[in-house]
């Protein structure tokens, strides 16, 4: 019997980042002050979960070529098997980020194998008790991935496997029928303070008024509307967690106060550690505190895949009152 693990159904890509003084004029050419090529995208979530010592399997598609080799090597270094399909007719995709002194980032991305998951891929996965499923909103930018994920959702709805759905910046672009299908899995919906109001407006939620904070009210209304658990992340202000059976008693989740120098990847660190906590069977409140600590501490280092060690995460959590 296959051992349980966190099954990552997102996209691993390659990030090419360049620090520049300014964007070049049309037809122009400039040199970067600093550049780096790293494995990114869904890899950041995987790295965070592995920092907690939990097993992870990457189920997304990988291509054939130098970018795919880099992705495969980075996963192997984390002892994460790449169990998804291998496409022979394209490489893994990449994203070029041009970063100006102000911190403004300009992106150009090239789609690759990770956006072309063959139909039936996720439906044919053999789940075992103890598996935890990670879903990313970015997956629904791609028609092939969407088709396979909808097949997965239809097959496994009602089975009770823990699912974390990190909706992400694509919250305004995913069609409501797709969101409804994914919600059939009754996932934990994870959103930040920008994404939460956008989803609430699209769903027609009516946050309550009275002796509650705006974020708590928003979290409650989303949980009731979705009939699923909701985590509403608010950066340095912590997070709120609600589940439909007692949505009127939303729980505040504290976070350590840090000097942030780079927030890129903080949400990924949160998701990876939350998946790990769920996999380890921790009470959801404890898993969320650890996830908050991971997200906060990751911002004290530059780069997206900067989740701290499990020891550092637990030390930060022990200093919080919750």
Tell me which long-range contacts 73-81 makes (C-beta under 8 A, separation of at least 24): 74/12, 74/39, 74/43, 75/12, 75/39, 75/43, 75/46, 78/46, 78/47, 78/50, 79/50, 80/46, 80/50, 80/56, 81/57
pLDDT at 212: 58
- Are the CB atoms for 269 and 261 separated by under 8 Å? no
Task: Tell me the pLDDT of the chain averaged across its residues.
Answer: 93
What is the mean predicted confidence (pLDDT) over 35-39? 92
pLDDT at 305: 87
Compute the distance between CA of residue 181 and CA of residue 188 in angstroms, rounded to an integer.
14
- Which segment of 11-25, 79-93, 196-210, 287-301 scores lowest on mean pLDDT? 196-210
pLDDT at 322: 66
pLDDT at 127: 95
- Are the CB atoms for 153 and 234 separated by under 8 Å? no
Only one residue has tokens 């969320």, namely 288
pLDDT at 292: 97
Please check the confidence at residue 136 and state whether its pLDDT lies above 80.
Answer: yes
Burial 71-91 (b: 16+ CB within 10 A, else e): bbebbeebebebebbebeebb
């Amino acid at each position: 019997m296959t051992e349980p693990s966190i099954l990552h159904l997102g996209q691993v890509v390659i990030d090419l980042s360049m620090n520049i003084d300014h964007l070049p004029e049309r037809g122009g050419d400039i040199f970067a002050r600093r550049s780096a090529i790293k494995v990114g995208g869904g890899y950041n979530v995987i790295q965070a979960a592995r920092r907690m010592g939990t097993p992870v399997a990457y189920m997304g598609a990988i291509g054939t070529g130098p970018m795919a080799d880099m992705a495969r090597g980075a996963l192997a270094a984390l002892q994460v098997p790449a169990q998804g399909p291998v496409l022979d007719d394209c490489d893994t995709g990449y994203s070029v980020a041009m970063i100006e002194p102000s911190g403004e980032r300009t992106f150009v991305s090239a789609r690759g194998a990770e956006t072309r998951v063959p139909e039936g891929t996720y439906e044919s996965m053999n789940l075992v008790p103890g598996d935890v499923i990670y879903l990313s909103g970015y997956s629904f930018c791609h028609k092939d991935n969407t088709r396979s994920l909808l097949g997965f959702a239809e097959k496994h709805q009602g089975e009770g496997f823990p699912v974390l759905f990190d909706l992400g910046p694509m919250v305004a672009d995913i069609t409501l029928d797709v969101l409804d299908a994914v919600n059939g899995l009754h996932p934990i919906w994870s959103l930040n303070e920008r994404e939460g109001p956008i989803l609430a407006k699209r769903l027609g939620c009516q946050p309550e008024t009275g002796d509650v904070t705006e974020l708590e009210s928003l979290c409650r209304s989303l949980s009731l509307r979705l009939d699923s658990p909701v985590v509403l992340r608010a950066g340095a202000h912590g997070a709120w967690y609600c589940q439909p059976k007692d949505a009127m008693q939303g729980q505040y989740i504290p976070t350590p106060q840090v000097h942030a120098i780079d927030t890129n990847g903080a949400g990924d660190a949160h998701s990876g550690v939350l998946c790990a906590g769920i996999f380890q069977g921790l009470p959801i409140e404890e898993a969320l505190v650890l996830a908050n600590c991971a997200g906060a501490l990751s911002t004290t280092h530059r780069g997206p895949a900067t989740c701290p060690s499990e020891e550092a995460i637990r030390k930060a959590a022990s200093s919080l009152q919750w």
